Structure 1
Amino acid sequence: MRTGPAQPAHPDSGGGQRGAHRPLVVHRRPEVPRAAVLLMHGGRADGLTPPPRLNLPALRMRPFGSAMSRPPGGRDLLLASVRYRCRGWNGPQADAAQDARRALDELTALAADVPVVLVGHSMGGRAALLTGGHPAVRGIVALAPWCPSGEPVSHLRGRTVVLLHDKHDRVTDAEGSWAFADRARQSGARAHSVAMPRGGHTMLRGARQWHRLTVDLVVAILAGTPLEVSADGRFPG
């Protein structure tokens, strides 16, 4: 992940903005939802300013939401996304993960006892993997995620975790995803990895395959369907 130039003071450093920020954005809410998907878009390694109005990483996630909203599976699905205070992860502050946790708390207050699947891209994938131990979360689908070495995995025990990555990605490292999946599996997660044949980091080439596979994985996770994979936890995209 690229690191940007020096940024102004953190927006939560004063002025009471923490209380004003609402991280949960609900896009579709059935009268009686049976499940929920929470989308988390990408960002930057560093950046304390808010995401821009024309937020390309957020726009990149819209087709995934649209694909999951189609019937029959989407009829009873609550679809939401995380609104970040900052466009960057910002080191130990892990701002995107903080917002993801708050959004999950809001979501569970809105729809109690509903299983949730997190779908995150790049920095959002890292946020999804870090917050996947939340009691409401049944599984995570991480798209070209940012997986630095040493990320915690023990909190994912009992969850289904799938990481999709194109090995030609030049922004985040596919080998980091494979290593994360291996460590998560050793810690008791049902962790799998998918080597996507194309798409790079933006997932634009072969986009339909990314969308279709993500929807299939979300449906399987919510249904509790075992994923048919090889002995090392991988299966073809």
Structure 2
Amino acid sequence: MAHHATPVRTARLGRTLGPEPRAVSGAVLLLPAGREVSARRPPPLPVTSFPRALGRRLARAGRAEGLAAHVVRYRCRGWNGSEAHLARDADWAVEETVRRYGDVPVCLAGLGMGGRAALHASGHEAVTSVVAIAPWLPEDDVAASPEPVKQLAGRQVLIVHGTDDARTDPELSFRYAERAKKANREVCRFEVHADGHGLRQYREEVGALTADFVLGTLFGTVLSRPLQDALAAPPPLGLRMPLAAGFGKTLRRR
């Protein structure tokens, strides 16, 4: 097996997305998608990319509460086996957030391989909650160690996955959520029926669901009824919760 040397680069936090709060009381770190193996530097994210757009939405929704939103810029694109570069960069980003803002609660929100990084890095004591959108998770393999879930204890976890995702297997995120639910009751998973990896058809609904979850878990605002029901329901109900079309339109404007 080829050895993946650690790139001689440093991760960094992108500029604050959306309006900057007067005083930061919490932070959300957006973890972009990556690749299974790659030592290349990630390309610049387009202004219209999903992580940036989601971060701006979260910053607007949480400005009054003091939410700061940043995209994490990885050292390289790849997870790279046991090196787990993206998870290590997520760990660094949480440390940097605490250094910059002090003892504030942090939510890790990742897409694809970034979702896997968010789940792995959730053990940091500053992390209150995790959002994994269409997370890339490895195939089950009895010869290998399963994806860890113990680090999720004490955190609130939201997984969102399109049922027609052809790039990251939604069944694998369901199996992961099943195992995670045994270690931590505060895990829920929403299915976006007939949508693919980019969740383009339901992007507004996914954004509204994520904003509701992030503000509730960081600042104690009341979660919407679907989130409350999903967190309280036993498996498999709370792990196959359908995301309704139009979700968010009836929520109170923040």
For 1:82, the aligned partner's letter is V
Deviations 1:3-45 (A, max 9, x none): xxxx997453xxxx34xx2422241453421111000010111
What are the residue-to-residue correspondences of 1:165-184 with 2, within 5 Å? 165-184=161-180
For 1:41, the aligned partner's letter is P
Cα distance in 1 for residues equivalent to 2:124 and 2:48: 23
The corresponding residue for 1:205 is: 201
Partner secondary structure for residue 80 of structure 1: strand
Paired residues in the alignment total 224
Contact 1:159–1:189 (Cα < 8 Å) also in 2: no
**RMSD of Structure 2 on Structure 1 (CA):** 2.3
Task: Report deviation, 1:58.
Answer: 8.6
User: Do residues 27 (structure 1) and 13 (structure 2) align?
Assistant: no
Task: Report deviation, 1:69.
Answer: 1.7
What are the residue-to-residue correspondences of 1:20-169 with 2, within 5 Å? 21-28=10-17, 29-53=20-44, 55=45, 59-71=49-61, 73-75=62-64, 76-148=66-138, 149=140, 150-169=146-165
Contact 1:159–1:190 (Cα < 8 Å) also in 2: yes
Task: Report deviation, 1:203.
Answer: 1.8
Cα distance in 2 for residues equivalent to 1:211 and 1:116: 18
Cα distance in 1 for residues equivalent to 2:4 and 2:184: 40
Partner secondary structure for residue 91 of structure 2: helix
User: Do residues 228 (structure 1) and 229 (structure 2) align?
Assistant: yes
> Deviation above 6 Å: which 4+ runs of structure 1?
none
The corresponding residue for 2:213 is: 217
Cα distance in 2 for residues equivalent to 1:198 and 1:67: 24
Mark the runs of 5 or more structure 1 residues left unpaired by the alignment.
1-6
Cα distance in 1 for residues equivalent to 2:47 and 2:197: 11
Task: Report deviation, 1:201.
Answer: 0.6
Mark the runs of 5 or more structure 2 residues left unpaired by the alignment.
141-145, 244-254
Q: Which moved more, 1:214-223 or 1:120-129?
A: 214-223
Contact 1:120–1:127 (Cα < 8 Å) also in 2: yes
Contact 1:44–1:87 (Cα < 8 Å) also in 2: yes
For 1:44, the aligned partner's letter is R
TM-score, length-scaled by structure 1: 0.86
TM-score, length-scaled by structure 2: 0.81
Cα distance in 2 for residues equivalent to 1:82 and 1:117: 12
Contact 1:43–1:57 (Cα < 8 Å) also in 2: no
